[in-house]
Amino acid sequence: MPFSAFDLRFEWLNLIVALLLFLLLVPGMLYYEKRKRKPARIRFSSLRNIKPIKTPLKVKLYRLPLWLRMVTVSLLLVAFAHPYQEKEIDKKQTPRDEQQEKSIEKKEERKKIEIPSEGISIQLLIDRSSSMGVQTARGGRKVNYMKFENTLLSKLDVVKIISKRFIQGTPETNKEAGLFTGRGNDLISLTTFARYPFIACPLTLRHELLLDYISQLETVSRQEEDGTYIGYALERAILQVIDAKSRAKDEDAYNIKSSIIVLITDGAQMIRPEDESDRHKSILPSEAAQLAKDNGIKIYTVAVAPQLIFDEHGTVIGSAGQFPVDEIRSAAKETGGSFYLATSGDTLMNIYQEINRLEKSQLPVKKELEARVQKSKEDKLIETEKVEYFPFFLWAALFSLLSEILLTIFYFRRIP
């Protein structure tokens, strides 16, 4: 490995000590040399005959031993700082290793995988308007918390926690988390809404991706995005389910036995005046429910209205209050679903458990597919070794010291 000063590293504690010693020793050596060598003086009547004489080389280099001594000290201090480099180990593959690697690649290129062949499609439709999050009251106090499992959380955070348990299931040993068996056989998607609906994750069997999207869910931050456009969000979710059912049927890849939408909101539909003329933005939940009914989609609606609202210190400051729920209640009834009122985090968890029982997925029916899987390049673990350089500096210091000694004895020898 070639020497490169840019890659050179030092033990930081040794380096600090070496720098301090350098700042002390080198100026001290210069001061001592200056005090030691006082030039001799002889009086002459005239310098006219001396000036033309050339200065001998020995006189010009009389400080060379001093410079060599300082170089020696400097090299010793660098060696003390423990210089080293990290060198990557280049492992040479044997023919046997290459053959094994090729055989692995061939196996991965044609891989048999099992996937569910039927199940339920579930659309999680979650309100992320500002009222679902923590708000700032007068004096900078944080409010709008609800208590769940003895922890103060925003309404949206409680929804996220329980939604993730509903999807991935909970261990039977964790009784506080409630009993959820998980929905591993079902297509699940996440659509969020405030003023505009947003498909955060389309219907998928890869629930690990869905869980990541739920974890990243936050309330809207800009006022122009705020609102509660329930009908608009329902319409988008319904259209997504219709499209997914159509594609699954055409491709004969997955049989959607039934479809449901779980709508979670903490307010009634509120349309801005500038959006009232827009047919999609101003669509009522009851109108969207009719579209869902025509396509065999059930809607479960959940109104989050905690009886107790806390501030950041856990002090009760009131309740969420009642808001008109007739629209979302009738939307659920129209499609054969149910309406629920979540007055606390525990109530919301019980609601999810009931929906989980009502919409039971059959035992996983899986089919085996032989798929061509493209092998992606994985990051290889780079092995390194430590290459020490302090011996080079020690040898260089020894050479400099010997040079000084030899020059002082044989070339710059002074005879009194």
Query: In this predicted structure, what is the pLDDT of residue 155?
Result: 95
C-alpha to C-alpha distance for 160 and 345, rounded to whole angstroms: 11
Pick the closest to residue 218 from 149, 151, 159, 152 (CA basis): 159
Burial of 346 (0-12, 13-18, 19+ CB in 10 A): middle
C-alpha to C-alpha distance for 325 and 159, rounded to whole angstroms: 19
Structure tokens at 352: 């999810």
- What are the phi and psi torsion angles at 111 (to 5°)? -120, 135
Structure tokens at 204: 């998928």
- Ordered per-residue pLDDT tens for the chain, 416 residues: 444 445 678 888 888 888 898 898 888 888 887 777 666 666 666 666 666 667 677 667 767 888 888 899 888 888 888 888 877 665 555 555 555 555 544 445 555 556 666 788 999 999 999 999 999 888 888 999 999 988 999 999 999 999 999 999 887 656 566 678 888 888 999 999 999 999 999 998 889 999 999 999 999 989 999 999 999 999 999 999 998 888 877 666 677 888 999 999 998 998 999 999 999 999 999 999 999 999 999 999 999 999 889 998 889 988 877 788 999 999 999 999 999 999 999 999 999 999 999 887 655 555 555 545 555 444 444 566 677 888 888 899 899 889 888 887 877 666 55
CA angle in degrees (0–180, nearest 5) for 181-164-234: 105
Q: Which sequence spans correspond to the domains of the chain?
A: 12-37+53-89+383-411, 112-371
Query: In this predicted structure, what is the pLDDT of residue 352?
Result: 95
Residues near 305 by Cβ (< 8 Å), separated by ≥ 6? 266, 319, 320, 321, 322, 323, 341, 342, 343
Pick the closest to residue 389 from 78, 89, 88, 73 (CA basis): 78
Query: In this predicted structure, what is the pLDDT of residue 106?
Result: 47
Residues near 395 by Cβ (< 8 Å), separated by ≥ 6? none
Give start and end residues of each alpha helix (H) in 252-309: 285-294
Residues near 265 by Cβ (< 8 Å), separated by ≥ 6? 127, 228, 230, 301, 302, 303, 304, 328
Pick the closest to residue 404 from 25, 18, 61, 151 (CA basis): 61
Query: In this predicted structure, what is the pLDDT of residue 376?
Result: 47
Query: In this predicted structure, what is the pLDDT of residue 288?
Result: 95
Q: Which CATH superfamily is domain 112-371 in?
A: von Willebrand factor, type A domain (3.40.50.410)
| Coil, helix or strand at residue 357 | helix
Measured in whole angstroms, the distance separating CA 353 from the mean position of its chain's CA atoms is: 31
Identify whether the C-beta of residue 231 lies closer than 8 Å to the C-beta of residue 251: no
